[in-house]
Amino acid sequence: MRTYAGHTNPRAANELFRTNLAKGQTGLSVAFDLPTQTGYDADHPMAAGEVGKVGVPICHLGDMEALFAQIPLAKMNTSMTINATAAWLLALYVAVAEGQGANPRELRGTTQNDILKEFLARGTYIFPPEPSLRLTADTIEYTVEHIPKWNPVNICSYHLQEAGATPVQELAFTLANAFAVLDRVQARPGVSLPNVVGQISFFVNAGIRFIEEMCKMKAFVRLWDRYTRERYGIEDPIKRRFRYGVQVNSLGLTAQQPENNVQRIVLEMLAVTLSKEARARSVQLPAWNEALGLPRPWDQQWSLRIQQVLAYETDLLEYDGDLFGGSTIIEAKVKELIDAAEAELKRIQQIGDACEAIEVMKRALVASHAERQRRIESGDLTMVGVNQFTEHDPSPLVTGEAESILVVDPEGERRQLERLRAFRAARNNAEVGAVLHALVDAATSGANIMPASIRAAQVGVTTGEWAGALRKVFGEYRAPTGLQGMTFASDAGALAAVRTRAAAVSRQIGHPIRLLVAKPGLDGHSNGAEQVAVRAKEAGLEVIYEGIRLTPEEIAASAADEDVDAIGISIHSGSHLTLVPRVAALLRQRGLSDVPLFVGGIVPDTDRDALKRCGVTRVYTPGQATLTQIVGDIVNEVAERQRRPTGTA
């Protein structure tokens, strides 16, 4: 039983960990901040506004020691949601454990380390696909020999569903990603593939259609067993087990009537616990208010108690057999999913493997998500409190005097920078330089990166220095946006009216309305930006969207170069009060103050006025407006600006 946690700084996160363990949590699931996930130190310009927002910042060994202070790692099972920098965070974990006197061979836990889904759905990649997979294979090879109880890779379908994957796509794309990893490990001489397969785990999603989701998990179990036997020759049925943990769906959590999220979470948990054949080994639940902002400790406690009631009060775990054994309805659904997933998998394999099919899979996810949004807007897909049963009494959970979300200490970033500078000043820089040289040599020569990384952790190399050394060798990468080659919807309903209005405004200004959709900072959750871009294209706008991880300077330059009529910024990481005012200021410097600036994302109500004062036209939070309404607002604002005298806002 876990809750996904970590924020502000290592000491605050450590206090939260120890509190949760005292409440009965049986393992740790660490959330790292975006600079840590993308290989930047807290004082790098790209890290501005992002430090400690969505997770805990880890810049060096001292931070990792503070994170796990008074927590004996030899007795702990720790899951780390980390991908591009997984080898580095594992190296830091090993260094801390050894400092505590633990034997690395006894360490238990998981590094997610599934880089392919980062290119598809989550966005915290750094290096191109092949070097990234090489680092994944390095950690697998090292842990199987030196940390044999560790799960070195956690193939993750969770974020695929969050990005719009259907159950069939989730099955096929996840298996394709797993095969890409195993194929590269299998090519390494001396690696025991049965031991590798025995240590691979999965991290899945479970949505509200919990019967179908349970059948999906049965399909996963059976497909993995068959493919590991037939494709990889694994004879031991224990090593072929589909071992998985789960966090239930966050995509379906709503900001409207957020109290409804509690029953959604409970029902979704049934999908991964009802069937003994396909039961999760570990469960972590989101909090009811995650669509509003960062959960408080009390909210996480509520999610933990949900798990404890199911495990200790109900009789669900008392039965030896599968509750659905012999059900023809369940078996028919499982077969349907397996057949469709295998057909989808064959289409990927005709391209090559998942590494070569990134663009095709990304485009499919964007299309599936767009279809889901259309069904919600049309009412074909019911969401209680969103498009049906919207009349309600105010919820005391969000209207009381207390804040309904956790607000990160605004001074946390400054203090983290001070600690980082003090750490650098106290270390042996000559030793650091020598170790970084050895790290580059290992990356260049093809040697396993883990020994050099562990040594780097021990002498005080920082996260940014480790990633910077590898950037010099491997380079960096920009993943496809998924918009290229998409087929867009035809006119229908409200969209037809917006399209007609957009065409009229375009005639007035002498060109199609040009909309720049941008994601500043390190936030890689691009679903919202992609869907706004899709709907804007469907409405006849010309859309400029260059993907994630842009600096404010790049956004302002693009707005000027493309002569845009409107700008939409998507931001979900909590860095809006730092990055949006910077974008607005740079636009003014370039004489673009007349260009309307829209902001969408998880923005607390208390921050809206600050954004408006810096020049934002309108702020959208999850569920506040449909995509068609947002695009309609953009079109109307462009028309309104055309009627105003030049220079007025």
201-204 sheet: strands from edge to edge = 154-156, 201-204, 244-247, 282-284
CA distance 338 to 73: 39
Residue corresponding to tokens 């028919």: 332
CA dihedral of 87, 92, 98, 104, whole degrees rounded to 10: -20
CB 36 within 8 A of CB 57: yes
Report CA-CA distances (Å) from 628 to 539, 540, 625, 631, 636.
Answer: 8, 12, 8, 5, 12
Contacts with 426 (C-beta within 8 Å, 6 or more apart), sequence order:
none
Catalytic residues: 4, 158-159, 519, 523, 525
* Amino acid found at 271: A
Q: How many CB atoms lie within 10 A of CB 489?
A: 15
CA distance 649 to 595: 9
One DSSP character per residue, 351-394 reads H-STTTTHHHHHHHHHHHHHHHHHHHHHTSS--BTTTBS---PP
Report CA-CA distances (Å) from 620 to 390, 411, 626, 631, 632.
Answer: 18, 26, 10, 12, 13
Comparing C-alpha atoms, which of 204, 209, 284, 286 is closest to residue 242? 204
Comparing C-alpha atoms, which of 409, 525, 418 is closest to residue 158? 525
Burial 36-55 (b: 16+ CB within 10 A, else e): bbbbbbbbbebbbbbbbbbb
CA distance 405 to 611: 19
Token pair listed for 644: 């105003």
- Residue 515, φ and ψ in degrees, nearest 5: -115, 125
Contacts with 220 (C-beta within 8 Å, 6 or more apart), sequence order:
171, 174, 202, 204, 242, 244, 278
